[in-house]
Structure 1
């Protein structure tokens, strides 16, 4: 592999790994912690986290992962390295559909709906709001976690395939 191909492949894997790790952390710690606390605190905390995630640090991993994968695929394809190019395309499509588009069409609207809810003083009312939100949100987060993990695996396969003569 050329230096350009190697660099792009590694950067693609780093981007996939960053977004996979972000989604995975929500699965195995953040949401479990919120579910275990007072639902009024969980609602307020989730509102704060959702408000803070729109930042320059999160942006590249979330929005640019499919771009980096597509650029990498294009370079491999133009160099007549169709097998690794195909794996990078597959990684980009999986993340694009089941990571980015899923988030924008399901999780973000859920987050926006939660953002406008005033945290109720009544713990039972808060518990109902939180349980309705958390269960559905976690299901879709698990889908995007698996998808981003699959994208990472596909990019790794592409790297291995690209390293073969």
Structure 2
């Protein structure tokens, strides 16, 4: 049974992963759709502004906080190796670290960096095509981040029950 400070740690992990997943779900379901409805030049400018604004403490606390909690939970789980919930905890940690954090680093951030190189000041066929490709690819990877964050949160809850 998971109890004491370990219980609190797992509850925090479930909440943090769930909140992070919620942010990703919001982006996939309406923010990116709204940006996609804009002319390419405006969408590029808006997304570049969002990408800069995302690098502020409130979002970073949620996103990196969940990754840190998952790393700590994984280490504590290996050290304590509880009678129940071990598989769920380790799988949840792996899902968040690989599927949310890893996908961000390997898929979404490089796309954001490439988009930052596009000027939203003028619309051309090339920038429009790049914007449309960016939207499809970025949202696809964002779905992965949302799903793995939600699955990690669910697995933490299952480990506690």
Contact kept, 8 Å, 1:40 with 1:120, in 2: the verdict is yes
CA distance in structure 2 between the aligned counterparts of 1:122 and 1:60, rounded to whole angstroms = 35
Q: Once structures 1 and 2 are overlaid, which stretch shifts more, 128-137 or 77-86?
A: 77-86
User: 2:23 matched to 1:22?
Assistant: yes
What residue number does 2:8 align with?
A: 7
How far 1:87 sits from its partner (Å)?
1.5
* Cα displacement string for residues 46-88 of structure 1 (whole angstroms, at most 9, x for unaligned residues): 0000111112112222223233134335445555524323311
Match in the other structure for 1:130: 131
Instruction: Specify the SS of the correspondent of 1:121.
Output: coil
Partner residue in 1 for 2:96: 95
Alpha-carbon distance change, 121 to 70 in structure 1, aligned in 2, over 3 angstroms: closer
Higher relative contact order (Cα pairs below 8 Å, separated by 6+ residues): 2
Size of the aligned set, in residue pairs, is 160
TM-score using structure 1 length: 0.86
Structure 2 matches for 1:10-159, cutoff 5 A? 10-75=11-76, 78-122=79-123, 124-159=125-160
Say which is worse superposed, 142-151 or 61-70, in terms of deviation: 61-70
**What does the per-residue CA deviation read over 1:121-145, in whole Å, with 9 as the maximum and x for residues that have no partner?**
2364443221011111111111111
RMSD in angstroms over aligned alpha carbons? 2.0
**Any gaps of 5 or more consecutive residues in structure 1?**
161-165
* Alpha carbons 1:23, 1:141 under 8 Å: kept: yes
Partners of 2:56 and 2:10 in 1: CA distance? 25
Distance apart, 1:149 and its partner CA: 1.3
Q: Assess, with a 3 A threshold, how the Cα gap between structure 1 residues 134 and 7 changes in structure 2: closer, same or farther.
A: same
